[in-house]
Structure 1
Amino acid sequence: MSPQHFDILIIGAGLSGIGTAVHLRREHPQRSMAIIERRARLGGTWDLFRYPGIRSDSDMASFGYRFKPWDSDKVLADGPSIRSYITETAKEHGIAETIQYGLNITASNWSSEQQRWVLRAEDVETGESRTLTCHFLINCSGYYNYAEGYRPHFEGEEDFKGQIVHPQHWPEQLDYAGKRVVVIGSGATAVTVVPAMARQAAHVTMLQRSPSYVFSLPDTDKMAMALRRYLPRGLAYRIVRGRNIAVQRGLYLACRRWPKRMRKFLIGQVRKQVGPDFDMRHFTPRYMPWDERLCAVPDGDLFVALREGRASVETDTIERFTENGILLKSGKQLEADIIITATGLNLQMMGGMELTVDDAPMPLNEQMTYKGAMIQNVPNFLWVFGYTNAPWTLKSDIAGRYLCRLLRHMDEHGNAVAVPRDDSGANALDEGILDSLQSGYVQRGKASLPRQGRSGPWRVLMHYGKDKKVLLDEPIDDGCLEFQPVRAAAADSAAPEPMAA
């Protein structure tokens, strides 16, 4: 059977994949397109994670799509609402019918002779191998391993008589009502799970080795609510979105420019929430603000649970698990019926897909990123990697719009291939794109990340304003993109042979 062929293939049917597909459908409706999703449903992260309280950690006015206003009054939306938003978007723009579910792309090889990608896909249920081909490949599979979260082994955990759960693999029928719960971790997942479980559990303890910066956001946006009453829907959304993007950027820059002052400010805001008698060492991190991401909680729900005694915090290290809970290094015993290991993610690039060019391996950690959206020496390939210091989708939005510009330029000039080249080699640095971020999952997996350069399109900016100019305003043909016309051999070639398993 001949391989299925498309002009464009998108890997991943999450926020980034659906958003990119909408841009392509609007700007290049004549191109055939498919989205390949390994799971049985769309939604990506927002379908995978089902733990109590799962929500965005960015406001939805800036986390949502630029072209589809988020109409809810909620600032931080829950997971099911976000998945419904993605589903609605896919249906409205005719994207839903382009999704092929239950296929895992295990390998992708660029053929220079045929000027196309040849992909090996595996049916998740049957294990059957299939071959797909395309002219342009877009990877929207995110940055972590969907199959397995980071789960360190703890001494004595085999002795624990209760249940141990990782948030990435939450049991659908987990009953924690009236139970004693210990949540190991202090990041975005932990500060979400603790107040959510505390509503039903007998007590929830957040056990952390070291604290994170946690700040409270209003649960509803009163300004947005007022604007929607008096202004057209789209205009109100643009105003609120612009305000939120500016505020987020201002907060990040303030933390970088005046770290000691912002540290004092952020810790002071927690003090106001938890009261004068609370031990502030539990919310006094060892690092400066934005060396790791800040954790947002709506209406201070975590602090409310602490004030009301439904939850507590312990800052200590684990000696071992026991039959009835956890023994700390300090000698304190935490009694538990359920232990939640909110210990983080495993970083994984390209969804674990093997990437080759003319059958030669193309390790990402040996290549630089180009404009934070393409990969050095990899033809006709868009890599959507969002922001770590702002809403992820701000970057995926402008990356998708850049791709539309690139395809239009290639059409106008009769080109079939675009590949970033750094012929001088003078730009390369032995520096990963996230080396400045000290989060555990980044440090564990940074060896797998692409490199970046000293300047120009090879430098990852993590700056929405600057990236907008680079991706949407600067010339496509900047001297770093190598273009190739249609090869006669490619135009006349028969369908490629399926990839070897």
Structure 2
Amino acid sequence: MSEQHVDVLIVGAGVSGIGMACHLKRECPGKSFTIIERRESLGGTWDLFRYPGIRSDSDMYTFGYNFRPWTGGKVLADGPSIKQYVHDTARENNVEQHIQYGLAVVSAEWSGTDKCWTLTARKEAAGETVTFTASFLVGCTGYYNYDAGYKPDFPGEADFGGQIVHPQHWPENLDYTGKRVVVIGSGATAITLVPTMAEETAHITMLQRSPTYLMPLPSRDAVAQSLQKVLPANVAYRLTRARNVSIARLLFNRSRKNPKAMRRLFLAMVRRQLDGKVDMRHFSPSYNPWDQRLCVVKDGDLFESIKAGKASVETDHIERFTENGILLKSGKELEADIIIPATGLDIQMLGGMDLSVDGQPVTLRDKVIYKNVMVEGIPNAGMIFGYTNISWTLKADIAAEYLCRLFNHMDSKGQSVCVPRDTGNSRAEDTMMGGLDSGYIRRADDKLPRQGTHGPWKVSQNYLEDVKTLRFDPIEDGYLEFDGRRPVQKTKPRRGFMRPLRSALFGS
């Protein structure tokens, strides 16, 4: 068993982990760090998922890092292009040599005596154990289980005579040409799979229990391309990014304040795409906009496939699988050669590692999130967790910036340990992903940290507010304890609105 020590240990080499490492190189050049990654390649989600049509569900001008503009022409980029972008970012910032692949995290233990973390990882290929020690631990593992997606136990599943393929484990060279395919689900994965596969299948059906709000979005941004022709690349990127952040915030806020009007707007967009040729019952959700994630339809491709008769939608419940397909509660049977349960994710925090502080196991459900970056009562630990209502990377960037600010502050003060303390007992019952009612979030209620009722414990999901808090508010805000000294509540300095606004829209 070998042991290695670094200042900062990053778990995960996906979008968040590579971003965190790049910020360290740029803002804390004196810090040593290592990234450990379970897979044999960087990219995280974009290395794992290989199903047909895999793409971003957010526009790339906001999904790209704030320090490295996305220069591809596509608004919604395909998975391989995103993975290449992450790889190029790592290479340009000299991060690649800091990554150790093939290591599955097992446990992380904090010692108050030694003032460091000891993390145990397993080399899956060789079966060896590797131990790291680090002054600070940063989890960049996302929020779902890489081993398996969520799949209900369908009655009669063993009777089905065809193939069952989960999108998270897509087999190489799966032949669906001329086949009858049923995709179970109506989320982003199903919305992507159906029109892509429809070009080669005999017919493909999207089977949903209930509809999802859909919004068509062109794959190329004509305005952004025009700006790129007349402005420096970085200026054009910042302007496009600012516009897209503003539009996303407007849609989300209006959905919260006037859900009936936004429902009418979203359904009108779908109705226009379908030209009145399809029953709108299949596209009219029972919940309000943004109670669950809004799904983007690239170039309206799903609607085009349906209008052309290559694809169809069924809204019903499954009675059971049969030898030839799926029997619905209504009595209708969908014949299929291949069934794809695009039924969602299984949430897993911090890569499934066992966490303990001074010998006491940590149950995240009992903890409160601090600024959506740290967790109360857990020393020297950060967690990069992106947004659920706009691009993930917007939050990942400013969270990484905040941690770098924290490191530099502690170094300047000669401090070695910091712990968020919820002295006001602000814990609420909402999880850190509160505000969304998606099935995968409800299923993970026992795994997610809670958010608080106010202050830095309450998750805003508001980029402008978070920019102010994470980039500009004082590090010593009365909630962080440094080297065992009780935090002192301080009055926050009043700040003008324009500086955080300019920073949010045009960069730090």
Both structures adopt the same fold (TM-score exceeding 0.5): yes
Q: Deviations over 1:104-137 (max 9, x none)?
A: 1110001111111001111111221121100011
The aligned residue for residue 390 of structure 1 is 390
Q: 1:93 aligned to 2:111?
A: no
After TM superposition, give the deviation of residue 405 of structure 1 in Å.
Answer: 0.7
Asked if the contact 2:2–2:129 (Cα under 8 Å) also holds between the matched residues in 1, the reply is no
Asked if the contact 1:435–1:446 (Cα under 8 Å) also holds between the matched residues in 2, the reply is no
d(CA) in 1 for partners of 2:483, 2:258: 48
TM-score with structure 1 setting the length: 0.95
After TM superposition, give the deviation of residue 159 of structure 1 in Å.
Answer: 1.1
The aligned residue for residue 456 of structure 1 is 455
Asked if the contact 1:356–1:362 (Cα under 8 Å) also holds between the matched residues in 2, the reply is yes
Amino acid at match of 2:290: W
d(CA) in 1 for partners of 2:139, 2:236: 32
The aligned residue for residue 227 of structure 1 is 227
Secondary structure, aligned partner of 1:446: coil
CA 411–283 in structure 1, closer or farther in 2 if over 3 Å, else same: same
d(CA) in 1 for partners of 2:295, 2:254: 16
Question: After the TM superposition, which residues 11-410 of structure 1 pair with which residues of structure 2 at under 5 Å, given as runs?
Answer: 11-410=11-410
Instruction: Provide structure 2 residue ranges, at least 5 long, that are not aligned to the other structure.
Output: 486-508
The aligned residue for residue 414 of structure 2 is 414
d(CA) in 1 for partners of 2:422, 2:221: 46
d(CA) in 2 for partners of 1:452, 1:333: 44
After TM superposition, give the deviation of residue 277 of structure 1 in Å.
Answer: 3.1
d(CA) in 1 for partners of 2:318, 2:180: 18
TM-score with structure 2 setting the length: 0.94
The aligned residue for residue 433 of structure 2 is 434
d(CA) in 2 for partners of 1:315, 1:137: 45
Amino acid at match of 1:357: V
Asked if the contact 2:2–2:130 (Cα under 8 Å) also holds between the matched residues in 1, the reply is no
Amino acid at match of 2:429: D
Asked if the contact 1:414–1:485 (Cα under 8 Å) also holds between the matched residues in 2, the reply is no
Moved more, 291-300 or 447-456: 447-456
d(CA) in 2 for partners of 1:436, 1:403: 25
Amino acid at match of 2:175: D
Instruction: Provide structure 1 residue ranges, at least 5 long, that are not aligned to the other structure.
Output: 487-501
Secondary structure, aligned partner of 1:293: coil
After TM superposition, give the deviation of residue 348 of structure 1 in Å.
Answer: 0.8
Amino acid at match of 1:191: I
Asked if the contact 2:355–2:361 (Cα under 8 Å) also holds between the matched residues in 1, the reply is yes
Asked if the contact 1:198–1:311 (Cα under 8 Å) also holds between the matched residues in 2, the reply is yes
Output the aligned Cα RMSD: 1.1
d(CA) in 1 for partners of 2:140, 2:148: 18
After TM superposition, give the deviation of residue 282 of structure 1 in Å.
Answer: 0.2
Asked if the contact 2:277–2:307 (Cα under 8 Å) also holds between the matched residues in 1, the reply is no
Q: Deviations over 1:425-458 (max 9, x none)?
A: 2x22233222321101001112211111111111
The aligned residue for residue 492 of structure 1 is none
d(CA) in 2 for partners of 1:424, 1:272: 51
d(CA) in 2 for partners of 1:459, 1:438: 17
d(CA) in 2 for partners of 1:68, 1:391: 15
After TM superposition, give the deviation of residue 485 of structure 1 in Å.
Answer: 8.3
Secondary structure, aligned partner of 2:255: helix
After TM superposition, give the deviation of residue 385 of structure 1 in Å.
Answer: 1.0
Amino acid at match of 1:307: K
Q: Matched residue pairs, number?
A: 485
Q: Deviations over 1:59-108 (max 9, x none)?
A: 00001111111111111000000000000000000001100000011100
